[in-house]
Every structure is written in structure tokens, then in C-alpha cells.
Amino acid sequence: MSFDVISIIGLGYIGLPTAAAFAARRKTVIGVDVSKRAVDTINKGEIHIVEPELDMLVHAAVTQGYLRATQTPEPADAFMIAVPTPFRDENKPDLSYIEAASRSIAPVLKKGDIVVLESTSPVGTTEKMAAWLAECRPDLTFPQQLGEDSDIRVAHCPERVLPGHVIRELVENDRVIGGMTRRCGEMARELYQTFVQGECVLTDARTAEMCKLSENAFRDVNIAFANELSIICDGLDINVWELIRLSNRHPRVSILQPGPGVGGHCIAVDPWFIVDSAPEQARLIRTARIVNDDKPRYVLDRVERAATRFKEPVIACLGLAFKANIDDLRESPALDIAHQLSERFVDQVVVVEPNIRSLPEVLAGKVRLCDLNSALANADIVVILVDHAQFKRVDPVRLQAKVVIDTRGLLSHG
Ligand code: SAJ
């Protein structure tokens, strides 16, 4: 089998690094994206997202002629769909991007091609994708659930990389590959082995879909446990971070860290796909989502209670990103808390976020973005929302005369 030309549909946080990884192995890669801005940026050898080392890789791939971006799909030997799967109202998964991407590549498919779904998806989506493709191309055969070989092979291979470490994890992580038939899985494995050094483990498409959702739900449930413990400990006057440190000395206990809530576009989203598929059974998974989504409100209550001690307190929010040492503000509980505080305490909130140069739209004109020193000099209340490296270096003496609400346990880590 040879994959001379590989097409990646969706050039975002997963699609673009994957395109660059294939191009680095001297494969011809055609990147497809609906956004003209993304396509133009990539064709200039630049990138439109933030991910360490990606700029260098894309620049090399484009200048050496291995990577080219376009808005219209072209023929290739392998197609990988890496478009978003957000959720709509009432936490229902929205598969419209996958459907549109599938229908857009259908006209250029030819016998022998493989289509791999990379997007995190509810169970059954790979089968739906095969059905959409089949509907557009009655002249070709597609795999049925337990069917035999077909003209077009279809598989699911969810990405599992950690934002900020994508380039390394893309190569080193093991991959779970769910083929719609054994042959589909084997072909997908050969495709991934072009650049993946981790093990590529074969299963069926439904198990692969559920595997990715389970990984993120596992983490969500465990963070919810830590968040619930933190609220219980506040009421019982126990330092939750010391408690967790001590509990984790047990050889079979490994409690995660509480925080201001769960952010990002994966862990706070994916468990809902399981709840949507099994609403009656997924009781723990649903409750974990609710516990984590409620945590920002709990933090706000604490700040409001602390503020009653002052006439017009200056409130410094340390951090806006959804986790430490990144600039990604999407679905960030820290941003949500800063925003709500800015509405409640007009002209009293200052924000420190060393990883951004200008405020996001929701905060523009409402809070002041300032450096750590001036924030600490003026604040009455300091709310630590993200455990950025810069904040870890603050001398605790500077916080002594202030009310500190430390949602990340920054001051409690020895
Ligand atoms: N968080 C806590 N306490 C913890 C750990 C994390 O409050 O102990 C919070 C973080 O602050 C953040 C959120 O959870 O707000 C998510 O952060 P994360 O670092 O756990 O995960 P993501 O969203 O950056 O990436 C996850 C990863 N999944 C797992 O670790 C199981 C990654 O491997 C996936 O590829 C990614 O989701 C994805 O795309 O699904």
C-alpha cells in the first residue's frame, strides 16, 4: 500500500500538526479548510493557531513543497477528517461539520482510498460518515458494520494529544485505531505508522469512539472528585492540597487537583457525548460535569463574601487561560470568573495574564490588563485562577496583608 498524497480536512489544532507531521515524512499533503484566512496563512508558510514548534514545521513543509492548503478538496489516496464536533443547546453533539466535510470529499474519492475520522465523536459517527459518503457516491462500495472489503475503507482514529505538547505527543503517543472492518483498520494503521512511533492498536470503530470519550470522562470525573473535596474541605477548615498530598501517599490512590472549574474544548465537552448516548445510565458522568461546571460560581461566591469586608476593594485576577502556561482562553473558567467579577465590581478588577498582549473582547474596556507587580501593589483581594509559572515565583510576603483566594493551591504546594 502506498499513500502518496494525503489530504487533511480541517486545519486546526489537530489537522494542521497532523498535516505537518506527514509532510515532515516527505508525503505530499493537501490541507483543506473552509477558512480562506487559514488557507492563505498556511500557504505563506505561517500558522493561525498557537502551538510550540508548529510554525517551524509548517514553514519547512510549505517552502519545501510538501504541504499546500486549499478551500476545495482534491483527489488523494487518504483523507483524514479533523473538523470540530461542538455541542449545541442542551448538550447535544453537533455533527454538521463532519457531515459537510464528508460530503465535500465524496466527489473526489476513487477506488482504493481510505477515509479516517479523527474528530472526537459520539459512538456511531464513523458509521454515519460512511453512510453520508455512500449516499453521495452510489458508484462506489463502502464498508457496512460487519461487512467485507469495499472500494473505500473507513476508520476512526481519535487524536489524544495534549495542547502545548502536540508535536511530541503526535509522534510518541499510542493510537487506538477503529476500522469499520479489519482491513480498514490495517490500512489506517499503515497510514499512521508513517509518523507515529507509539503503538497503533486495532479495534472496531465504535470502541475507538467510546475509548476517546472515556479517557476524557475519566479525567473529568476525577477532577470533579477533587473539586468536590475542595468545597467540603473549605467548610471543614482543612487545606485540601495538603489533604490530597497526604492521601496520594497511598500506593493505589492518585487524586487530581482542584481548580476554578474545567476548561478547554475537550474534557468539558466530550463527557456530554456519553450522556447524550446513554442518558439513563450515565449518572456519574453527568454529575461530574455539573460539579465541575458549578465550580466557577462557588469561587465567585467566595470573592463576593470576601469583598463585603471592604468599601470598594481592588480585585486582582491572576490568570485567564484554561490551564497553566498557555495562552488559550477558550472555555476558560478563569475568564468566566474574571468576566463575572468585572460586571459585579465595575472599575475595580485588574487582570494579570502574562501569555496575552491584549484583552479578549468580553473583558475589553471592563478590566485593566496589568503586570503582576502593579496588580499585587494595588489589590485588596487576589484571586489566583491559573497556576502559571510566573505566579509560582511570587514571594508570599507580598500577599500577607491581602485576602487571597487561591483556587489552584499555588501557595499550598511545598
Ligand atoms: N484540570 C484541573 N485539575 C487537574 C487537571 C486538570 O482542574 O488535576 C483542569 C485544567 O486546569 C483545565 C482542564 O482541567 O481547565 C483540562 O485540562 P487537561 O490538561 O486535563 O486537558 P486538555 O483539555 O488540555 O487535554 C485533554 C487531554 N486528555 C486527557 O488527559 C485524558 C488530551 O490528551 C486530549 O487529547 C485532549 O483533552 C482532547 O483533545 O480531547
Q: Whose CA is nearest to atom 7 of ligand 1?
A: 259
* Distance separating the N- and C-terminal Cα atoms of the chain: 54
Last residue of a domain, one of 168, 198, 228: 198
Clarify whether residues 48 and 168 are in a common domain: yes
Does ligand 1 come within 6 angstroms of the Cβ of 264? yes
Q: What is the pLDDT of residue 106?
A: 98
Rounded mean pLDDT, 214-243: 98
Stated pTM of the model: 0.94
> Is it the case that residue 253 has pLDDT exceeding 80?
yes
Residue 363 has phi, psi (to 5 degrees) of: -105, -10
Clarify whether residues 26 and 169 are in a common domain: yes
Clarify whether residues 125 and 16 are in a common domain: yes
Distance 219 CA to ligand 1 centre (A): 7
Nearest-CA neighbor of 243 among 59, 252, 234?
Answer: 234
Does ligand 1 come within 6 angstroms of the Cβ of 296? no
Nearest-CA neighbor of 10 among 88, 90, 110, 118?
Answer: 118
CB-based burial, 179-216: b 16+ in 10 Å, e otherwise: bbbebbbbbbbebbeebbeeebebbbbbebbbbbbebb
> Is it the case that residue 376 has pLDDT exceeding 60?
yes
Clarify whether residues 21 and 145 are in a common domain: yes
Summarised one tens digit per residue, pLDDT across range 271-324 is: 999 999 999 999 999 999 999 999 999 999 999 999 999 999 999 999 999 999
Catalytic positions, written as ranges: 212, 266
Summarised one tens digit per residue, pLDDT across range 180-207 is: 999 999 999 999 999 999 999 999 999 9
Clarify whether residues 276 and 352 are in a common domain: yes
Clarify whether residues 299 and 361 are in a common domain: yes
Does ligand 1 come within 6 angstroms of the Cβ of 271? no
Summarised one tens digit per residue, pLDDT across range 66-109 is: 999 999 999 999 999 999 998 888 888 999 999 999 999 999 99
CB-based contacts of 243: which residues, under 8 Å, 6+ apart?
229, 233
Instruction: For residue 5, count CB atoms less than 10 angstroms from its CB and return exposed for 0-12, middle for 13-18, buried for 19 or more.
Output: middle
Clarify whether residues 185 and 286 are in a common domain: no
> Is it the case that residue 164 has pLDDT exceeding 90?
no
User: Residues 148, 154, 158, CA angle at the centre, nearest 5°?
Assistant: 135
Q: Whose CA is nearest to atom 10 of ligand 1?
A: 323
How many Å apart are CA 356 and CA 332, to the nearest integer?
A: 14
Rounded mean pLDDT, 148-173: 94
CATH value at residue 96: 3.40.50.720
How many Å apart are CA 315 and CA 311, to the nearest integer?
A: 12
Quick check: 310 and 328 in contact, CB under 8 A?
A: no
Q: What is the pLDDT of residue 146?
A: 54
Clarify whether residues 20 and 98 are in a common domain: yes
**133: in domain:** yes
How many Å apart are CA 366 and CA 348, to the nearest integer?
A: 9
Tell me the pLDDT of the chain averaged across its residues.
Answer: 96
Rounded mean pLDDT, 36-43: 98
Summarised one tens digit per residue, pLDDT across range 314-363 is: 999 999 999 998 888 989 999 999 999 999 999 999 999 999 999 999 99
Q: What is the pLDDT of residue 377?
A: 95
Q: In the chain, what percentage of residues exceed pLDDT 70?
A: 99
Distance 75 CA to ligand 1 centre (A): 36
| Ligand 1 pocket: which of 13, 118, 162 to mutate (most atoms within 8 A of CB) | 162
- Looking at the 3D structure of the chain, how many domains does it have? 2
Q: Calculate helix-pair angle for 283-307, 270-277, nearest 10 degrees.
A: 130
**233: in domain:** no
**167: in domain:** yes
Clarify whether residues 263 and 174 are in a common domain: no
Does ligand 1 come within 6 angstroms of the Cβ of 223? yes
CB-based contacts of 125: which residues, under 8 Å, 6+ apart?
85, 95, 98, 117, 119, 156, 209
**111: in domain:** yes
Rounded mean pLDDT, 381-397: 95
Reported as half-sphere exposure (CB side, CA atoms, 13 A), residue 142 has a value of 21
Question: Alpha carbon 353 to chain centroid distance?
Answer: 20
Does ligand 1 come within 6 angstroms of the Cβ of 292? no
Clarify whether residues 257 and 192 are in a common domain: no
**214: in domain:** no
Q: What is the pLDDT of residue 414?
A: 55
Q: What is the pLDDT of residue 205?
A: 97
Strands 368-369 and 349-352: parallel
Q: Which three cell numbers stand for residue 384?
A: 489566583
Nearest-CA neighbor of 101 among 90, 244, 121?
Answer: 121
Return the number of other C-beta atoms located less than 10 Å from residue 365's C-beta. 8
Return the number of other C-beta atoms located less than 10 Å from residue 312's C-beta. 9
Domain that holds residue 275: 251-406
From residue 246, give the alpha-carbon distance in Å to each of 242, 259, 339. 6, 18, 35
If residue 108 lies in a helix (H) or strand (E), which one and from where to where? none
Q: What is the pLDDT of residue 145?
A: 54
> Is it the case that residue 406 has pLDDT exceeding 60?
yes
Distance 348 CA to ligand 1 centre (A): 31
**289: in domain:** yes
Distance 267 CA to ligand 1 centre (A): 6
Nearest-CA neighbor of 380 among 316, 321, 334, 329?
Answer: 316
Summarised one tens digit per residue, pLDDT across range 48-70 is: 888 889 999 999 999 999 999 99
Q: Whose CA is nearest to atom 4 of ligand 1?
A: 257
Clarify whether residues 375 and 271 are in a common domain: yes
How many Å apart are CA 5 and CA 239, to the nearest integer?
A: 56
Q: Whose CA is nearest to atom 37 of ligand 1?
A: 266
Model confidence band, residue 147 (pLDDT cutoffs 50, 70, 90):
low
> Is it the case that residue 396 has pLDDT exceeding 80?
yes
Looking from the CA of residue 323, the nearest atom of ligand 1 is 11
Does ligand 1 come within 6 angstroms of the Cβ of 335? no
Contacts 24+ apart (CB under 8 A), 274-281: 274/210, 274/213, 274/214, 274/217, 275/91, 276/91, 276/92, 276/93, 276/122, 277/122, 277/123, 277/124
Return the number of other C-beta atoms located less than 10 Å from residue 43's C-beta. 14
Does ligand 1 come within 6 angstroms of the Cβ of 282? no
Q: Whose CA is nearest to atom 25 of ligand 1?
A: 162
Last residue of a domain, one of 165, 198, 231: 198
Nearest-CA neighbor of 149 among 178, 119, 187, 121?
Answer: 187
Clarify whether residues 20 and 120 are in a common domain: yes
| Ligand 1 pocket: which of 267, 269, 391 to mutate (most atoms within 8 A of CB) | 267
Last residue of a domain, one of 176, 198, 220: 198
| Ligand 1 pocket: which of 14, 219, 335, 388 to mutate (most atoms within 8 A of CB) | 219
Residue 215 has phi, psi (to 5 degrees) of: -60, -45
Does ligand 1 come within 6 angstroms of the Cβ of 161? yes
Looking from the CA of residue 212, the nearest atom of ligand 1 is 40
Q: Dihedral, CA atoms, 273, 276, 280, 285, nearest 10 degrees?
A: 30
